[in-house]
Amino acid sequence: MPEISVLMSVHNGGEFINESIESILNQTYQGFEFIIVDDGSTDDTVDIIKRYKDPRIKLYVLKENVGVGAALQYGLNKVSGKYVAKADADDIYISTRLEEQKDFLDNNPDVALIGGLIEYFPHNENIAKSNRYRTLKSLREKSLNNIVSSDDIREHLYWYCCLTHSTIMVRTEIISKVGYIDIPIGEDYNLFYQLNKQGFKMAKLNKILAKVRVSSTSITATNKEILYRKSLLLIKKDEIIELFKNSNEVYIWGAGGMGKNLLYGLREKGMDVKGFIDIDKKKHGKKINGKIIYNPEKIVNNLLKNKIIVASEPGRFEIVDYLKKREYRHLKDFVVYA
């Protein structure tokens, strides 16, 4: 029985998957099985995988596209290793990744999951010149790689997905307790979020384990970002509902697109906020769907009455710092939506 089960799902990944498979097969640690679930691909993905004659590769071909969450859960039910190492079909891994993560989990029985740092790279020159790629490199990569310690991961997972799915190795008996739910986007964040709520300890190796490809088909390049925001509301529903239970005056901090989407999502679930908060003075006094946009000072000072949902991705750290300095308590007085 292998010690490690590498788990990958793929849909129409023929353009990239060779590099990813090679980076797994060429690992310094060789005692693994490689479970690949093809999620209804219509390109040459399956043919490419079948060219590999490595007995460790176990290919499962789904007749139709069921989505990432359902495909991964299908694969998870097939694993036999002590540890599950997630891999993505368009990412490239350093050769010692599996060895180093296995050693860490072997020597730290209190840790359920170990991740690592990442480095974004562009698929082509056009992507390299795009604003989206520059933003990912300058903001998101830094945001992900700055969160390393178990304590930081524990707190920040409530804010955003500070673990990169394609870098994780997790104990099979533990991931099986939560598994992957069938949602369009965010199945990885839900897994981490639920493990975190259940008190499982997670950590990161403080080194780059994966090069993450940025292409025109990346989630951040499509309207799937909107679906992800809906998934966030599902993942964090318990914490948000609790906030409304504690106060009938809840405000959204962030009057941009993310805040507006949150307002619509809350209303669909029968919850409504009192208004918005934003630091942009030009927005103060204006309305979004009948909700006034306020200066933070007018709302945050009333701690006993007003509760906050943070919906500003670029400003989340500054907003949380602002709230904590005014004695707002995380998950009691404020929740970070994104």
Per residue in 324-337, pLDDT (tens digit) is 999 999 999 999 99
Average pLDDT over every residue of 51-80 = 97
Does residue 5 register a pLDDT over 50?
yes
Predicted local confidence at residue 214, as pLDDT: 92
Distant-in-sequence, close-in-space partners of 291: CB < 8 Å, separation ≥ 6? 263, 273, 274, 275, 276
Q: What percent of the chain has pLDDT over 90?
A: 86
Structure confidence by residue, pLDDT tens digits, 8-60: 999 999 999 999 999 999 999 999 999 999 999 999 999 999 999 999 999 99
Average pLDDT over every residue of 278-305 = 93
Predicted local confidence at residue 221, as pLDDT: 44
Does residue 309 register a pLDDT over 90?
yes
The average confidence (pLDDT) of the chain is 94
What is the per-residue DSSP string for 181-248?
A: ---SS-HHHHHHHHHHHTT-EEEEEEEEEEEEEE-TTSGGGSTHHHHHHHHHHHHTHHHHHHHHHH-S
DSSP 8-state class, residue 139: I
Predicted local confidence at residue 222, as pLDDT: 47
Q: Which residue has the higher pLDDT, 289 or 221?
A: 289
What is the per-residue DSSP string for 4-69?
A: EEEEEEESS-TTTHHHHHHHHHT-S---EEEEEEEES--SSHHHHHHT---TTEEEEEESS---HH
Predicted local confidence at residue 248, as pLDDT: 85
pLDDT band for position 220 (cuts 50, 70, 90) = very low
pLDDT band for position 210 (cuts 50, 70, 90) = very high
Predicted local confidence at residue 224, as pLDDT: 67
Q: What percent of the chain has pLDDT over 70?
A: 97
Does residue 284 register a pLDDT over 60?
yes
Token pair, residue 290, equals 């009948």
Predicted local confidence at residue 226, as pLDDT: 74
Biggest CA-to-CA distance, the chain: 66
Structure confidence by residue, pLDDT tens digits, 127-142: 998 988 998 888 889 9
Distant-in-sequence, close-in-space partners of 96: CB < 8 Å, separation ≥ 6? 27, 28, 29
Q: Look at phi and psi of residue 331 and say left if phi exceeds 0, alpha if psi is from -120 to 50, else beta.
A: left
- Where b means 16+ CB within 10 Å and e means fewer, 136-170 reads bbeebbebbbebbeeeebebbbbbbbbbbbbbbbb
Going along the chain from its start, the domains and CATH numbers come out as 4-222 (3.90.550.10), 236-336 (3.40.50.720)
Average pLDDT over every residue of 168-177 = 97
